[in-house]
């Protein structure tokens, strides 16, 4: 909220107030014998777009399906590194496999958005790793393709001034412990 310019907050307040007041105006229109279907459509449209504008100006995400659209909007300094979760496992058949982020959710970054805060916290890390391990095995019915162990690492990616991508991999967990 601190980042939103005050005029935008004021405009969002106006839009929200108008959305709340519109049904009252609709009652007045119905009393003036305007066609109910016409009043319903025009009131519905006004309320919808007033609420959409409110959510959009306040950059709200949780109000989906009426949201703000802050995707890719934050400014990131050129030298800043991004963190990408890398997962690797060993199946019960003994095969080492890479587990792409997109194997659990449609967007590969969704998994790390949920898991990275827990994995970065040493007290939560073991439980998070166990959950991930069990979840993977639940989704794979064939025992041979199920995991015997799971390892996670964070890749820090950054870009140099001359455009070279630098990757530094930092191991963060192994489950069960000791299977690094």
Q: How far is the CB of 118 from another protein (least distance, A)?
A: 9
- Residues 15-50, buried b or exposed e (16+ Cβ, 10 A)? bbebbeebeeebeeeeeeeeeeeebeeebeebbeeb
Helix (H, G, I), strand (E, B) or coil at 33: coil
Choice from 10, 27, 41, 168 touching another protein (CB under 8 A): 41
Q: Which stretch binds another protein (CB under 8 A): 65-73, 88-96, 145-153, 168-176?
A: 65-73
Return the structure tokens found at 126: 């073991």
Our finding on whether 68 is near another protein (CB under 8 A) is: yes
Choice from 6, 65, 94, 178 touching another protein (CB under 8 A): 65
Closest CA to 156 of 100, 78, 80: 80
Our finding on whether 62 is near another protein (CB under 8 A) is: yes
Choice from 29, 47, 51, 146 touching another protein (CB under 8 A): 29
Q: How big, in percent rounded to 5, are the helix, strand and coil portions of the chain?
A: 45, 20, 35
Beta strands (DSSP E) in 25-129 are: 82-91, 96-99
Q: How far is the CB of 44 from another protein (least distance, A)?
A: 8
Our finding on whether 169 is near another protein (CB under 8 A) is: no
Closer to another protein by CB, 110 or 170: give it. Answer: 110
Q: What are phi and psi of 107, to 5 degrees?
A: -95, 120
Alpha helix (H) ranges present in 62-161?
Answer: 108-119, 125-139
Our finding on whether 170 is near another protein (CB under 8 A) is: no
Choice from 23, 93, 107, 117 touching another protein (CB under 8 A): 107
Contact (Cβ atoms closer than 8 angstroms) between residue 66 and residue 17: no
Question: Which residues are at the interface with another protein (CB under 8 A)?
Answer: 3-5, 8, 25, 28-29, 38, 41-42, 44-46, 49, 52-53, 56-57, 59, 61-78, 80, 82, 84, 104-111, 113-114, 131, 134-135, 138-139, 157-159, 163-165
């Amino acid at each position: 909220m601190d980042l939103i310019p005050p005029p935008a907050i004021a405009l969002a307040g106006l839009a929200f107030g108008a959305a709340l007041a519109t049904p009252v105006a609709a009652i007045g229109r119905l009393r003036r014998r305007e066609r109910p279907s016409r009043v319903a459509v025009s009131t519905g449209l006004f309320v919808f777009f007033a609420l959409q504008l409110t959510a959009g100006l306040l950059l709200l995400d949780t109000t989906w399906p009426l949201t703000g659209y802050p995707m890719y909007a934050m400014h990131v300094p050129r030298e800043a590194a991004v963190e990408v979760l890398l997962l690797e496992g060993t199946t019960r058949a003994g095969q080492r496999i890479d587990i792409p982020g997109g194997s659990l959710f449609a967007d590969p970054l969704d998994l790390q958005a949920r898991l990275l805060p827990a994995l970065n916290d040493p007290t939560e890390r073991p439980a998070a790793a166990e959950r991930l391990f069990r979840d993977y095995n639940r989704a794979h019915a064939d025992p041979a393709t199920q995991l015997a162990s799971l390892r996670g690492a964070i890749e820090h990616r950054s870009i140099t001034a001359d455009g070279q991508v630098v990757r530094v991999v930092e191991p963060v967990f192994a489950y069960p412990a000791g299977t690094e």
